[in-house]
Structure 1
């Protein structure tokens, strides 16, 4: 399998450092504030430290994680404006990765851009979070992504294994419905936290989640020992994704999958049987016509 430029970006973003008290997540947080005019720059450094502690030191899952089992992830926050003191308008890139069996390759699981990342934060502010209550927008957003990262990871190791964490993410969405912050409702966008969580618990999307298990366990995790069988199983998983897309066209879960896996899929299917490669190309360009040129690399060799 060929390493992609996205994989290099992921390794840069995620880093290898962890926290001594880490639970399930090994999350590196970066806050970019070059567009904010402020003499009090230390609050931005504090955000990085406190947001990372919030994600890494809190126990999100029921199971006990060993140090080497923590999920590598990254949250890159770009502060775009500060309408008032302590109030920030931002965007964020959320990334997570999963190790592939018998290799040094980390597969990107989530590569998601959130443009509704508005929040309030002041220096030394406590970050309070309750799974069943809206406490603040920043902790709700961070908690939402913690659950989604864990759910995606679990789904890749066990069929529908992330169910309870998707349900926890949906509870966070439900808690925030009346908050007035953007990104939590179904009306203003078809690509936001509401719809990602809704897709995750929608029974129509279950074959998509099953495909993620087959893609990783029967596909990627087999590539080192049997690349031909691994590619065949990944193609079978893509056919499930295609069927889901026919039932629910342009669902955010499908689009997010392609955002995370595009470079990986090009790398996997730039080798092997040409008939299989052509079939994969046709599936992918139908799923995401805007990326036809990138998927065309599958047929170049």
Structure 2
């Protein structure tokens, strides 16, 4: 009987390990805070990582090696009072490319306006339908953005369920009056506009199709059918350029290029000159700040 119980518990524990989807590293830079005792930040890091990585966010099973890797860099700006923090957050999400050891940066976004209250050993709870606090709302929001982006890169519009929850989180958090959650006219690079562009905008929502084309039909088949891969990557850039022409400087467009500009400049080096020429023309319209790296594609 004891052996049967042991096998049962091992199976249960094994199932739980399969269900955890995220593998995020949280880094907290508190140099500007001028707080001498850093124990609170060590506790904060551990608590935030446990919240992101220690729970099941979907109904799908994940093997440990399939978990979505990401980075969360939190820079503490100032501490107005004990337990209250003002911070910025940099979120990065990575995705493995089929048949290689290479990981592609799929999402790169700077959230510049986050304030929250945190006490040592504070329990972190999340409810999709209720705003509880500004920590779990932000962490859960980006957990679902990461899931949605990853699923979109493997299946056309596969991220819908997770973007829907991210949208719910924004709607619930607006009642808090905290910055970053509302329809601000002066701050269009916040959480509200991010999920608006990704999930509800008919213009920028098309960029989700570019994610699938670029990754599943482009990068993933680069070793199998190079020409088709390059054509699909170019089509993804066309979609991006079309959205940008309709509505310039959208937050989703910018975050796509922040993640992809270096990679595109490297990957397209071996494409035909004709394809590179068209790609560069489009990229210069979408992302002129990186003109030098795109123009380098035309050399030789």
2:6 aligns to what? none
Please, which of 168, 171, 184 is the counterpart of residue 168 of structure 2? 171
Describe the SS at the equivalent of 2:203: helix
Deviates more, 1:218-227 or 1:251-260: 218-227
1:133 aligns to what? 130
| TM-score, normalising length: structure 1 | 0.90
2:223 counterpart of 1:242: no
Please, which of 101, 107, 119 is the counterpart of residue 116 of structure 2? 119
2:65 counterpart of 1:68: yes
2:10 aligns to what? none
Q: Work out whether residues 223 and 231 of structure 1, in 8 Å CA contact, stay in contact via their aligned partners in 2.
A: yes
Judging changes above 3 Å, is the alpha-carbon distance between structure 1 residues 123 and 21 closer, same or farther for their aligned structure 2 residues?
farther
How many angstroms does 1:38 deviate by?
2.2
Structure 2: state its 5+ residue gaps. Answer: 1-15
In 2: Cα distance, 1:181 partner to 1:21 partner: 35
Please, which of 31, 35, 43 is the counterpart of residue 32 of structure 2? 35
How many angstroms does 1:293 deviate by?
1.9
1:8 aligns to what? none
How many angstroms does 1:131 deviate by?
0.8
In 2: Cα distance, 1:23 partner to 1:199 partner: 28
How many angstroms does 1:22 deviate by?
6.9
Q: Work out whether residues 21 and 56 of structure 1, in 8 Å CA contact, stay in contact via their aligned partners in 2.
A: no
Counterparts of 1:21-100 in structure 2, within 5 Å, are 23-100=20-97
* Structure 1 stretches of at least 4 aligned residues deviating more than 4 Å after TM superposition: 19-22
How many angstroms does 1:111 deviate by?
1.0
1:256-300 alpha-carbon deviations (Å, 9 max, x no partner): 100000000000112221111111111011012222123222223
Number of positions where the alignment pairs a residue of Structure 1 with one of Structure 2: 283
Q: Work out whether residues 22 and 56 of structure 1, in 8 Å CA contact, stay in contact via their aligned partners in 2.
A: no
1:95-151 alpha-carbon deviations (Å, 9 max, x no partner): 111010111111101111111122111111111211111111011000000000000
2:283 counterpart of 1:284: yes
How many angstroms does 1:88 deviate by?
0.7
How many angstroms does 1:57 deviate by?
0.8
2:7 aligns to what? none
Higher relative CO (Cα under 8 Å, sequence separation at least 6) belongs to 1
1:14 aligns to what? none
Q: Work out whether residues 205 and 244 of structure 1, in 8 Å CA contact, stay in contact via their aligned partners in 2.
A: yes
Please, which of 123, 138, 147 is the counterpart of residue 150 of structure 1? 147
Q: Work out whether residues 21 and 57 of structure 1, in 8 Å CA contact, stay in contact via their aligned partners in 2.
A: no
In 1: Cα distance, 2:296 partner to 2:24 partner: 32
| TM-score, normalising length: structure 2 | 0.90
Structure 1: state its 5+ residue gaps. Answer: 1-18
Indicate the RMSD between aligned Cα atoms, in angstroms.
1.6
1:49-72 alpha-carbon deviations (Å, 9 max, x no partner): 000000001111121222121100
2:259 aligns to what? 260
Deviates more, 1:175-184 or 1:161-170: 175-184
Describe the SS at the equivalent of 1:94: strand
